[in-house]
Chain A
Amino acid sequence: MELIIGTFANVLILSSMYILVALGFALLFSIMGILHVAHGAVYTISGYICYHLAQAVGLNGWLSLALTVVVVSSFGLLLERLCFRPFFGEFDRSLVVGIGLILIIQTTMVITRGQESLSIPSFVDGFLRYGPISVSHERLVTFAIGAALLLVLVWFINNTKPGLQMRAIAQDFRGAIMQGININWISAIATVIACGSAAVAGCLMGAYLNLNPFMGDHVLSKALILVILGGMGSMTGLFYAGLVLGALDATLPVFFSGSVAEVIAMSVIIVVLLLRPTGFLGREIT
Chain B
Amino acid sequence: MKLKSPFTGNRGKMIKPGACAGLLIILIACPLFIKSPYLFHIFNLTLIYIIVAVSFRTIMTSGQLPLSHAGFMGVGAYASATAAKWLGWTPWITIPFGALVAMGVGVIMGYPFARLRAVYYAMISLFFGMLIISSVKAFDTWTGGAAGLTGIPTLFGYSKIPYYYFFLLLTSVCLLALYRLEFSRTGVTWKAIAQSHEVAASVGINEARYRILASAIGCLFAGLAGATYAHYNGVIGTTSFGLMATILLLIYVIVGGAGSFFGPIIGVVLLMTIPELLRGLREYVPYISAAILLIVVYIMPKGVAGLANSLLSWFTELRKNRRTSNAS
B residues near A (Cβ < 8 Å) are 1, 4, 112-113, 116-117, 119-120, 123-124, 126-128, 130-131, 134-135, 137-138, 140, 145-146, 243-244, 247-248, 250-251, 254-255, 258, 283-284, 286-287, 289-290, 293-294, 296-298, 301
CB of A107 within 8 A of CB of B283, answer yes
Question: Given A106-B286, A273-B124, A274-B124 in contact, is the A263-B134 Cβ separation under 8 Å?
Answer: yes
Set of chain B residues within 8 Å of A111, measured between Cβ atoms? 283-284
CB distance from B191 to the nearest CB of A (A): 17
Please name the residue on chain B nearest to A258 by beta carbon. B137
Which residues from B are CB-within-8-Å of A262? 130, 134, 137-138
* Segment of A14-22, A52-60, A95-103, A176-184 in the binding face: A95-103
Interface status of A270 (Cβ within 8 A of chain B): yes
A263 touching B138, Cβ below 8 Å: yes
Complex Cα–Cα for A110 and B284 (A):
10
Return chain A residues, CB-CB under 8 Å to B138. Answer: 257, 259-260, 262-263
Q: Is A6 an interface residue (CB 8 A)?
A: no
Q: Which residues of A contact B254 (CB under 8 A)?
A: 92-93, 95-96
Residues of B within 8 A of A107 (CB): 283-284, 286-287, 290
Tell which of A93, A103, A277, A286 touches B290, judged by Cβ atoms closer than 8 Å: A103
- Given A217-B244, A266-B131, A273-B123, do A93 and B294 touch, yes or no (CB 8 Å)? no
Question: A37 — nearest CB in chain B belongs to which residue?
Answer: B247
Report if A269 contacts B (CB, 8 A): yes
Q: Which residue on A lies nearest to B2, using beta carbons?
A: A286
> Is A103 touching B134 in the complex (CB atoms < 8 A)?
no
A119 to B146, CA, bound (A): 25
Contact B250 A95 (CB under 8 A): yes
| 24 A-B contact pairs sorted by A residue (CB < 8 Å) | A33-B1, A87-B297, A92-B4, A92-B250, A96-B296, A100-B289, A100-B290, A103-B287, A103-B290, A103-B293, A104-B286, A107-B290, A110-B283, A111-B284, A217-B244, A257-B138, A259-B138, A263-B131, A266-B127, A270-B127, A273-B120, A273-B123, A273-B124, A285-B120
Within the complex, the shortest CB–CB distance from B134 to chain A, in Å, comes to 4
CB distance from B270 to the nearest CB of A (A): 12
Give the tally of cross-chain contacts (CB within 8 A).
104
State whether B124 touches A270 (Cβ < 8 A): yes
Q: Which of A257, A259, A270 is in CB contact (< 8 Å) with B128?
A: A270
Q: Do B127 and A273 touch (CB < 8 A)? A: yes
The reply to whether B293 and A99 form a contact with Cβ atoms under 8 Å apart is: yes
CB neighbours of B255 from chain A (8 A): 96
- Which chain A residues have a beta carbon within 8 Å of chain B's beta carbons? 33, 37, 86-87, 91-93, 95-97, 99-101, 103-104, 106-107, 110-111, 217, 221, 224-225, 228, 257, 259-260, 262-263, 265-267, 269-270, 273-274, 277-278, 285-286
B297 contacts A93, C-beta separation under 8 Å: yes
Q: Is the CB of A277 within 8 A of B116?
A: yes
A221 to B116, CA, bound (A): 22
Chain A nearest CB, measured from B187 CB (Å): 21
Pairwise interchain contact A104-B290, C-beta atoms closer than 8 A: yes
Closest 7 CB pairs of A and B: A259-B137, A262-B134, A277-B120, A100-B293, A103-B290, A266-B131, A259-B138
> How many Å lie between the Cα of A95 and that of B296 in the bound state?
13
B247's nearest neighbour on chain A, judged by CB, is A99
Are A263 and B135 interface neighbours, CB within 8 A?
A: yes
A284 to B128, CA, bound (A): 21
Contact of B131 with A270 in the complex, beta carbons under 8 Å: yes
- The residue on B at minimum CB distance from A256 is B138
Of all chain B residues, which has the CB nearest A83? B294
Q: Which of A110, A111, A259, A267 has the most CB of B within 10 A?
A: A259
Distance in angstroms between the alpha carbons of A228 and B255 in the assembled complex: 25
Shortest CB-to-CB span from B3 to chain A, Å, is: 9
A259-B287 in contact (CB<8A)? no
Of B254, B284, B289, B294, chain A has the most CB atoms within 10 Å of the CB of B294
Q: Which of A95, A267, A277 has the most CB of B within 10 A?
A: A277
Q: How far is the CA of A257 from the CA of B146 in the complex (A)?
A: 13
Say how far B243's CB is from chain A's closest CB, in angstroms.
6
Q: Contact at B140–A259, with CB atoms within 8 Å?
A: yes
Given contacts A92-B254, A259-B140, A274-B124, contact A100 B294 (CB under 8 A): yes
Q: Taking the nearest CB of chain A, how far is it from the CB of B83, in angstroms? A: 21
Complex Cα gap A6–B145 (Å): 28
Q: Which residues of B contact A33 (CB under 8 A)?
A: 1
- Check B289 against A103 for contact (C-beta < 8 Å): yes
Cβ–Cβ < 8 Å partners of A269 in chain B: 127
- Asked if B243 and A96 sit within 8 Å, CB to CB, the answer is no
Specify which of B124, B128, B283 is in contact with A277 (CB 8 Å cutoff): B124
Inter-chain pairs besides A96-B255, A270-B128, 18 sampled, C-beta below 8 Å:
A37-B247, A92-B4, A96-B251, A96-B254, A99-B247, A100-B294, A100-B297, A101-B290, A103-B287, A104-B286, A111-B283, A228-B126, A257-B138, A259-B138, A262-B138, A267-B131, A273-B120, A274-B113
